[in-house]
Amino acid sequence: MEINKNIVKTLLNSKRIAIFIHINPDGDCLGSASALKQALVSLNKTVDIFSDSIVPENYNFIKYVTDIKHDDEVAGYDLHVAVDCSDLKRLGKYSKFFNKIENTICIDHHKTKSDYAKLIHNEIVSSAALIIYHYIKDFSKIDKDIACALYAGISSDTGCFMHQNTTSEALRISAELIDYGFDLYEANENLFKYTTLSKFKLTKKAYETAEFFANGKIGMFKLTKADMTETGADISDTTGLVNLITNVNSCQIGIIIYEEESGLFRCSLRSKGDIDVSLVAEEFGGGGHVNAAGCNIFGCLKTVVKKIVSSCSKALKN
């Protein structure tokens, strides 16, 4: 992978750096942000990570995750960096602060993208963490904690190396990272087995709502605010649920719709093979990867279901 030397130069010339991650953070954005912060701190930089969402506690094993800031104001930094974020609005409340300074960087790996930063490295690979790995190798050194963070990012976005975006490069780099000696068992337990009682209850509720369309080729879970309240769940508990319905052998596209607030539904999409759900998400102002994407749709549940199923049906035929 060819890195952008201007990005490296800007990172090295900056003293106070703010790193921003997307709303509803996952293992990739958290691992990428942590690894980058660690590498920069080792060079005597002052670095803070900002998130507009509460971070699920299963990621606390990644260094600096428990120090992530949620301040309403951001000021005093000479560089802003967004990682694993394809669009400015994905930064949530921090979108209004990102371009208030001159020096901005975006490091991302999504197919759908928005050129919102001064310097951009966007490459369609398995994870943002894989890109961050190449940058850290260039200007710093990898140690046990950085290796753990990068592994968390790569393994998360490849679905524990089961998704179609898994490549030999991702596997080779992950093997190299494991050799640094972090606790692999702890990482995998937290990334792929950890669950809360509320998520367990929400999963049960999701199965009760399961519905299939297009002769079983489209599968859907539908969760309302009432379901979230009843189970004591929050948005972070919906992570990974869409994969459960996509695992059905006939299902080519999996969807989970959950009501974030009255009249606003978040839609998470997964697909198999070359079915491009990023095009479905783009239709509703969202985006993502070929096999994993998301969007927000306004309306009543019945209308939202009709719209998303119609769009997914077209994707099956393309």
Sequence ranges of the domains in the chain: 5-193, 197-317
**Rounded-to-integer distance, Cα 165 and Cα 133, Å:** 17
CATH match for 197-317 among 3.30.470.20, 3.40.50.720, 3.20.20.100, 3.10.310.30: 3.10.310.30
The residue-averaged pLDDT of 25-32 equals 97
Say what the pLDDT of residue 126 is.
Answer: 95
> Is this model's pTM higher than 0.85 or not?
yes
**Rounded-to-integer distance, Cα 240 and Cα 237, Å:** 8
pLDDT band at residue 114 using 50, 70 and 90 as cut-offs: confident
The C-alpha angle 309, 313, 318, rounded to 5 degrees, equals 145
Report in angstroms the alpha-carbon separations of 143 from 39, 59, 178, 229, 247: 9, 19, 11, 42, 36
**pLDDT single digits (tens) 36-78:** 999 999 999 999 999 999 999 999 999 999 999 999 999 999 9
CATH of span 5-193: 3.90.1640.10
